[in-house]
Amino acid sequence: MKAINDGEVLFEVREGIGSFTPEERAAAIQRRILQVAEDEDIPVESITIKRVGDRDNVSVVQDNRPLVTITKADVGDRLETQEEIAIELAQPIREAITRYRQDRVPQNLLKNIANCPQ
């Protein structure tokens, strides 16, 4: 299942967590990212990497709010560590949030409407 923000695929969710299916997990990730994107008071620089609890999981977080948790199951047979994967995800998430916000600035909305084929 793909985690998508504003039509852009950010990454693929391969495993569920607990009772969450991959589809439910992807939807929850999308919701969390959208909540951050819609709140312009949240700086994208506040999106960082954090080890979560006693579980050996690493999360991309906004302050202490988890956006995406990378589990050992997510790593599978990849050569990267959970932390490396989280670092790889954090920047595209920051960029997607920045684009989301820029696309919704009033003058950009007007440009986008003017450029729509009729």
Within a domain: 51: yes
Residue 118 lies in a domain: no
Domain presence at residue 8? yes
Q: For residue 113, is it within any domain?
A: no
pTM: 0.79
pLDDT of residue 1: 47
pLDDT tens digits in sequence order for the chain, 118 residues long = 445 555 667 777 878 888 989 889 989 999 999 999 999 999 999 999 998 776 678 999 999 899 999 988 888 888 999 999 999 999 999 999 999 898 887 665 555 555 666 5
Is 59 within the bounds of a domain? yes
Classify residue 114: in a domain, yes or no. no
Task: Indicate whether 116 belongs to any domain.
Answer: no
pLDDT confidence of residue 14:
79
Q: Is residue 16 part of a domain?
A: yes
How many domains are contained in the chain? Answer: 1
Going through the chain in order, the beta strands assigned E by DSSP cover 2-5, 8-12, 47-52, 57-62, 65-70
* Nearest by Cα to 21 from 3, 49, 46, 1: 1
> What range defines the domain where residue 82 resides?
2-108
